[in-house]
Amino acid sequence: MAIKNLTSIDRLWEEVYWCCVNPLYPKDETTAKLWKEDEFLRLKHGYYITPLPEKLKGHILDAISFWKRREIEVFEKMGMKRDEFLRKFRELREDYYQGGKRWKKNVVIFYSKVKGAVKNIQWVDLFSWILPIADSENVEVYRSIGMVMTALFYIEMLFKSSYPSGEDYIKRIEARWKIVNMDFSR
């Protein structure tokens, strides 16, 4: 069985996940139920993240370089800059949560340009909450990337929200949006 070529982000996720991410067990049934119902709380309290080993720092530079190239391509396709995209995404998200109708049209427009930019939710996890906790010296670099990744993946999930499991997708990505926007300087 042939293994597909992994990107530098995929390889980094595997290395960081297996050495730094330690799932915690809920202390009681109430906590277990809460974590099952609230993805944000599970992400925030359901893991112990150990500091990033020095040996992975070079891999991070490769992954960041890979992402920066991809981000440039995506923004060129969209014909906008990063800040403009994030502003429009926030407006789209707000319209979605307020029960508006504009978000659907905007998601369709964005989706055709961003589809596949973020390969999977592991990429989002890596930059939205794992690396900012594991390597607090570079938290703003990771959050900056994580915010864009999360927004791009969020658009894909909104596009797919009409599928039977769509609501679960939205809950999962919303939790990551909240995480990437929180203050990591505890």
Tens of pLDDT, residues 119-175 = 999 999 999 999 999 999 999 999 999 999 999 999 999 998 866 566 788 999 999
Residue 157 is assigned to a structural domain of this protein: yes
Provide the residue range defining the domain that includes 124: 8-180
Residue 114 is assigned to a structural domain of this protein: yes
Q: Give the chain's domain count.
A: 1
Q: Report the first-to-last Cα separation within the chain, whole angstroms.
A: 45
Q: What gap in Å lies between CA 95 and CA 68, rounded to an integer?
A: 29
Residue 3 is assigned to a structural domain of this protein: no
Q: What gap in Å lies between CA 32 and CA 130, rounded to an integer?
A: 21
* Cβ–Cβ < 8 Å for 155, 110: yes
Q: What is the pTM of this model?
A: 0.92
Counting every residue, how long is the chain? 186
Residue 99 is assigned to a structural domain of this protein: yes
Residue 185 is assigned to a structural domain of this protein: no
Distance of CA 53 to the CA centre of its chain: 22
Residue 186 is assigned to a structural domain of this protein: no
